[in-house]
Structure 1
Amino acid sequence: MSQFNHSWFNQITDIDTTIWQRFFHDTPFTDHAFLAALEHSGCVSKNTGWQPMHLAIYQQKHIVALLPGYIKYHSYGEYVFDWAWAEAYQQHGLDYYPKWLSAVPFTPIEGQRLSINHPNPDSVYNYLTQVLTNTAHDRQWSGWHINFCHQQQAESLKSDAVMLRQGVQFQWFNQAYSHFDDFLDSLTARKRKSIKKERAKITQQHITIEWREGNTISAQDMQLFSHFYSQTYIKRSGHTGYLNNAFFQRLRDTMPTQLVLMLAKQADEVIAATLSFKDKQCLYGRYWGANDEIDSLHFELCYYQGIEYCIANKLKQFHSGAQGEHKISRGFQPVYTYSVHHIQQPDFAAAINDFIARERQHMALYKAQCDTLLPFKQQ
């Protein structure tokens, strides 16, 4: 008989906040408050295709591991793309959805997914794999997935039945810069000139940037930001985005010390904004919105202001989200991301495993090519 048992929870508030926070403390996005804001605002629910189904593992009556989790009815908002897998299932008359996913909805930030407090973590990993695989069989999920986990967790979960997948993102690292000009001095002359030219366009258009943090962010500020966010989504994709004003307002109420709102003003009118998160080590640039397209404003608000903020506050890293080769010339370096995947159907599992092996070679080549494009001076 296993030394462990487990329970599923259909809402994050069924798990005590103090207990949850004891396990999760590496990024703001696995905070109880962040996940609760997603649920309370209706951004995640069965209706949106993100049905909460969190997992707790116990030894006797004590929780020894926790995972945020969701039953997924589509693959939107995940950023580890499996659309081709779903299409292949459909072409063979099989259902790819529902599946179970451990991730932070709409958030491509690496962090703790399975958090363990046990002297023998491998025994917990083994039990977790059994639970997820057996539950997938019983509930007829196509499989289970854990996205944007730490490399160590991905490697600990990898087995003949669990596939490890790599991706690439771009992040900025603070080399103990004292000022933005110190960062510019680390770049080649051509790249330095290009960034200065971009930033000069903001000044020439009489745009100023204001930072607001914590309790200085008003409900009106957040309402305005939410409007920008939804308008930008409408212009780009025809829908209002994954998140709503109720979500953003709840963040302001429950996580104010972890928020950084940057407002772009022209003639005393706010025309664009970004909402970021912070912890003691890192700034996480997450959401952006604007009334209109303005030359170079996206680069200024989403990248250069974040770099300025990290330097001013001595943060070590700036994580600006998924994808974006255009970040390379602005000093963002390629880093690997990790996810793990279990597919129930044996033939599809074999085909996907072969795809992932070939993809891993491509990612290694892609990262190496990106490294050659970095704008830093040769040491």
Structure 2
Amino acid sequence: MNETQIIITLHDSLARIDAADWDACACPETANGARPQDPFTTHRFLKALEDSGSVGPGSGWQPQYLTAELDGQIIACAPLFAKSHSQGEYIFDHNWAHAYERAGGRYYPKLQMAVPFTPVTGRRFLTRPGFEQTGRSALIQGAVQICDRNDLSSLHVTFCTEAEAEAGEQMGLMARASQQFHWVNAGYADFAGFLASLSSRKRKNIRKERRQANDFGGEIIELTGNDIRREHWDSIWRFYQDTGARKWGTPYLTRAFFDRAHETLRNDVLLVLAMRDGNAVAGAMNMIGASALYGRYWGCVEDHPCLHFELCYYRAIDYAIRHGLNRVEAGAQGEHKLARGYLPVPTHSLHWVRDAGFADAIAQYLKAERQAVAQDIDILTAYGPFRKTEMEDHE
């Protein structure tokens, strides 16, 4: 670093960083009691991952939290991990790893600046207000130097903001684009107002799906804060295991994470459960931000028509409208979300590769990929469910 007064430090545990210092960078808006914009970068969420053993020894996600200190004060920090694989990232670089190792290099370990297992856009360069540019520059330079000095193959900053992607690219990192499907609140008064913005065919289909879902033979409830009891987490764990086993084999989160969530994250969580005879037969877990609802996990022990759509998408939309939230982010992938009001949006990441020749090849690939992603977004948006005037409003 050119400015010697900025001290860059790696921490192998979040316990070594005071929660107030971390959150002053990650979520300064909470100082006055407000809800965090991004619940996933709060000290309590990342600490729950670590305390539960979801990250750390044996997980392939070894904490290396990064801080930048100026005049004795932490002005910036970042959730950084040494990775021994590419699982749980949702921005795929498996082909890069294979090509790198076929050429005789060692791709792992690499550094990953991300929230583990969480494909949600948010700030990755967490800075105190007033230190945005200085702190971000210090974190980028520090992370790159750590990679270079330790002969690590690469640094990956995934699901960063568009502004961070632009700033990182200006500092020499390679920008990558991908896409997700988000629902955007256009100021709807209620769910009926949202339906009125759709084409007649899509509106009728959603009404039909909601009727089918709610005829499963029980009731659907919403729980947050102190209304969530420990037995509810037993159900969420069963659902999470079932979905994880079908989608990616071994679930990323441990059972202890959900116990920790009960202790420290209940006010950040919305559970939507389908109950029958006192038992949860299906459910969805969401995280609540100041302006967005984030769908995270879904599962069931019984199959019922359209219940997945109701719990994960329609109830999330309804909750967002009732609570004045700007959008719903329903996680990675899933073009089936398009017909249910979720439109494609770009997501961003940054990459640095130590080998210059390999970096040049990746840069060419990323340029073509960005063009393809932009074209896909344009095409998919044109097939959206909104009436033509509404589609023009969303463009």
Identical aligned pairs, as a percentage?
37
Aligned to 1:20: 22
Displacement of 1:208 after TM fit? 2.1
Task: Give the whole-Å Cα distance in 2 for the aligned partners of 1:119 and 1:177.
Answer: 35
Displacement of 1:172 after TM fit? 0.7
- Matched ranges for 1:66-85 at <5 A: 66-85=77-96
- Matched ranges for 1:331-346 at <5 A: 331-346=341-356
Aligned to 2:13: 11
Displacement of 1:20 after TM fit? 0.9
Instruction: Say if 2:122 is the partner of 1:111.
Output: yes
Instruction: Say if 2:322 is the partner of 1:312.
Output: yes
Structure 1 unmatched ranges of 5 or more: none
Q: Are the counterparts in 2 of residues 274 and 285 from structure 1 also a CA contact under 8 Å?
A: yes
Aligned to 1:51: 62
Q: What is the SS of the residue equivalent to 2:388?
A: coil
Paired amino acid for 1:304: Y
Displacement of 1:370 after TM fit? 1.2
Task: Give the whole-Å Cα distance in 1 for the aligned partners of 2:130 and 2:281.
Answer: 53
Task: Give the whole-Å Cα distance in 1 for the aligned partners of 2:281 and 2:129.
Answer: 50
Displacement of 1:222 after TM fit? 0.8
In structure 1, which of residues 364, 369, 377 is the aligned counterpart of residue 374 of structure 2?
364
Task: Give the whole-Å Cα distance in 2 for the aligned partners of 1:252 and 1:103.
Answer: 23
Task: Give the whole-Å Cα distance in 2 for the aligned partners of 1:43 and 1:15.
Answer: 19
Displacement of 1:346 after TM fit? 0.8
Q: Give a deviation string over 1:142-186, Cα, whole Å, max 9, x none.
A: 011111111111111114731011111111111222221111111
Instruction: Say if 2:214 is the partner of 1:203.
Output: yes
Paired amino acid for 1:353: A
Q: What is the SS of the residue equivalent to 1:295?
A: coil
- 165-174 or 357-366, larger mean C-alpha shift: 165-174
Task: Give the whole-Å Cα distance in 1 for the aligned partners of 2:194 and 2:141.
Answer: 48
Displacement of 1:268 after TM fit? 4.1
Q: Are the counterparts in 2 of residues 252 and 259 from structure 1 also a CA contact under 8 Å?
A: no
Report the TM-score when normalising by structure 2: 0.92
Alignment RMSD, CA only? Answer: 1.6
Structure 2 unmatched ranges of 5 or more: 28-36, 390-395
Aligned to 1:96: 107
Displacement of 1:121 after TM fit? 4.2
- Matched ranges for 1:250-289 at <5 A: 250-289=260-299
Task: Give the whole-Å Cα distance in 1 for the aligned partners of 2:20 and 2:65.
Answer: 16
Q: What is the SS of the residue equivalent to 1:227?
A: helix
Aligned to 1:42: 53
In structure 2, which of residues 189, 193, 214 is the aligned counterpart of residue 178 of structure 1?
189
1:237/1:149 Cα in 2 relative to 1: closer, same or farther (>3 Å)?
Answer: closer
Task: Give the whole-Å Cα distance in 2 for the aligned partners of 1:184 and 1:362.
Answer: 31
1:160/1:69 Cα in 2 relative to 1: closer, same or farther (>3 Å)?
Answer: closer
Displacement of 1:13 after TM fit? 1.4
Q: Give a deviation string over 1:284-343, Cα, whole Å, max 9, x none.
A: 111111113322111111101111111222222111111111111100111111111000
Displacement of 1:251 after TM fit? 1.2
Task: Give the whole-Å Cα distance in 1 for the aligned partners of 2:214 and 2:274.
Answer: 11
Q: What is the SS of the residue equivalent to 1:314?
A: coil
Q: What is the SS of the residue equivalent to 1:158?
A: helix
Task: Give the whole-Å Cα distance in 1 for the aligned partners of 2:41 and 2:85.
Answer: 22
Large movers: runs of 4+ above 6 Å: none
1:120/1:33 Cα in 2 relative to 1: closer, same or farther (>3 Å)?
Answer: closer
Displacement of 1:224 after TM fit? 1.7
Q: Are the counterparts in 2 of residues 202 and 296 from structure 1 also a CA contact under 8 Å?
A: yes
Q: How many residues align?
A: 378
